[in-house]
């Protein structure tokens, strides 16, 4: 089976970039990305591709090349489903906020809605691809819905999880470590797997395309995120011990990272991990383990989340304690609000929780982030429901440049590792601040000795 038409349901952080790269690398395939959010689709279709809704280095150029040729963004969901041979499901799977599994299990209501819509519309055999991160055996539920509520056509369900890191998503798509495709071991399932393999083979070497059964593919995604988050929590746990003993966590990380069995990646101490995936996926893994009665397994992975939450609280407590145990009416500047550099995604960003703690202590927060608007910052704080909208509005200010954000501040907290922060005129910033001027480097990106020589009271993670 040769694929000539693909539909992706969901124009978010996964669906948009993934389909843009497929369209660029496969000009013979028509790729249509659909979403019910009219404003999001309008933004994807903006004539100025620099205004597309997701910021990723290199993405706007790829969209500009393929859009209108074989890449299309539309709200006509049923039309795209009807025409496509392959349908990717790339919708949100947040942690449940209600009912059984509240606070841990993945909320699959959007997945089910997609499956029911596909079943209603499809008049010909389809390949349905799970692109969203899902609990193991979700494909079984999708297939049951499709087979029992459809029009008698045949569906093959594949699992094709994404392994993208925000900020490097385009690079990850163009040069992936691996492409993972899981499906049934029946002749029909293997034919569907091969059809999707051939799509990726347009630019990915086949020795990097791994095929498995569908359950292994689903669980591999959760496992990968859990292992990466575990490394971050592990080095952050050591950062606290370093602070007590006089060791330097950066030196410890370098020493252990040179061990080839460990390696250097994901060993940078910080104020904690954020993003849409790590916490959500680990909580999902914890819930799955508990549902099978594997309580020791669940407790082990839950500790990764506990350590991450502790690190964020510890950082905000350090700010209060260092500023003479009160930040009331003091201006604290945040450099960075996005959960990591090179993205405008703020989901589960450490900055949100540190700000929440400091606002509870009646601090005044000023923020500079090159890609995040004040409206987004306020939306993040309001989502926590810690205070009224008016209180948040009065507590936080956003600035268009870092020097204005820092002027008159009592302290600066670096909460995103944007490259530009390193190149600032730190002497100029120091001269504009209240004295003593405190610098809390939550991402360990500045040279401590250099900023201390200027006059800052420096507090880094693990220092």
Cα-based distances in Å from 302 to 228, 279, 288, 298, 376: 14, 10, 12, 6, 29
Per the CB < 8 A criterion, the answer to whether 442 and 418 are in contact is no
What lies within 8 Å, CB to CB, of 373 at 6+ separation is 398
Can you tell me whether residue 224 is helix, strand or coil?
A: helix
Per the CB < 8 A criterion, the answer to whether 315 and 461 are in contact is yes
Per DSSP bridges, beta strands 5-9 and 86-89 are parallel
Is 100 annotated as catalytic? Answer: no
Is 277 annotated as catalytic? Answer: yes
The catalytic residue among 162, 218, 243, 302 is 162
Which among 270, 197, 175 has a CA at the least distance from the CA of 229?
Answer: 270
**385 backbone dihedrals φ, ψ, rounded to 5°:** 60, 35
The catalytic residue among 114, 277, 341, 364 is 277
Q: What's the distance, CA 304 to chain centroid?
A: 17
Alpha-carbon gap, residue 331 to 461, rounded angstroms: 21
Is 221 annotated as catalytic? Answer: yes
The catalytic residue among 96, 221, 268, 459 is 221
Q: Please, which residues bridge with residue 365 across strands?
A: 332, 396
Per the CB < 8 A criterion, the answer to whether 363 and 391 are in contact is no
Alpha-carbon gap, residue 337 to 429, rounded angstroms: 19
In b/e form, how buried is each residue of 329-350, taking b as 16+ CB within 10 angstroms? ebbbbbbbbbbbbbbbbbbbbb
Q: How many CA atoms does the CB half-sphere of 149 hold within 13 Å?
A: 16
Per the CB < 8 A criterion, the answer to whether 319 and 327 are in contact is yes
Query: CB neighbours (10 Å) of residue 51?
Result: 11
The catalytic residue positions are 162, 221, 277
């Amino acid at each position: 089976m040769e694929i000539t038409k693909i539909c992706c349901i969901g124009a978010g952080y996964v669906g948009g970039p993934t389909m843009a790269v497929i369209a660029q690398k496969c000009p013979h395939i028509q790729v249509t990305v659909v979403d019910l959010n009219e404003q999001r689709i309008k933004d994807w279709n903006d004539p100025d591709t620099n205004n597309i809704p997701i910021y990723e280095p290199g993405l706007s150029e790829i969209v500009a090349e393929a859009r209108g040729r074989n890449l299309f963004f539309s709200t006509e969901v049923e039309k795209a489903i009807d025409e496509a041979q392959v349908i990717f499901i790339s919708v949100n799977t947040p942690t449940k906020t209600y009912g059984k599994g509240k606070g841990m299990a993945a909320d699959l209501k959007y997945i089910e809605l997609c499956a029911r819509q596909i079943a209603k519309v499809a008049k010909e055999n389809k390949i349905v691809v799970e692109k969203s991160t899902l609990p193991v055996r979700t494909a079984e539920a999708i297939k049951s819905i499709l087979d029992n509520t459809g029009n008698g056509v045949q569906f093959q369900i594949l699992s094709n999880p994404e392994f993208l890191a925000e900020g490097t998503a385009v690079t990850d798509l163009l040069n992936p470590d691996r492409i993972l495709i899981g499906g049934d071991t029946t002749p029909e399932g293997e034919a569907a797997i091969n059809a999707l393999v051939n799509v990726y083979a347009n630019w990915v070497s086949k020795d990097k395309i791994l095929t498995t059964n569908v359950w292994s593919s689903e669980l591999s995604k959760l496992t990968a995120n859990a292992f990466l988050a575990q490394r971050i929590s592990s080095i952050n746990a050591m950062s606290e011990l370093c602070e007590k003993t006089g060791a330097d966590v950066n030196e410890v990380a370098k020493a252990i990272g040179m061990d080839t069995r460990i390696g250097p990646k994901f060993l940078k101490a910080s104020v904690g991990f954020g993003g849409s995936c790590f916490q959500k996926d680990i909580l999902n893994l914890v819930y799955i383990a508990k549902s099978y009665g594997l309580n020791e397994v669940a407790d082990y992975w839950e500790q990764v989340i506990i350590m991450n939450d502790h690190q964020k609280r510890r950082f905000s407590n350090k700010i209060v304690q260092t500023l003479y145990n009160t930040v009331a009416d003091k201006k604290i500047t945040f450099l960075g609000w996005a959960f990591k550099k090179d993205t405008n995604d703020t989901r589960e960003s450490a900055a949100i929780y540190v700000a929440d703690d400091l606002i509870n202590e009646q601090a005044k927060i000023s923020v500079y982030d090159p890609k995040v608007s004040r409206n987004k910052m306020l939306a993040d704080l309001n989502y926590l429901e810690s205070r009224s909208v008016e209180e948040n509005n009065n507590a936080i200010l956003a600035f268009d440049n870092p020097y204005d954000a820092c002027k008159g501040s009592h302290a600066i907290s670096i909460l995103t590792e944007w490259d530009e922060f390193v190149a600032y005129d730190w002497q100029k910033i120091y001269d504009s601040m209240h004295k003593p001027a405190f610098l809390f480097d939550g991402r360990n990106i500045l040279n401590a000795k250099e900023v201390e020589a200027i006059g800052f009271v420096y507090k880094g993670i693990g220092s």
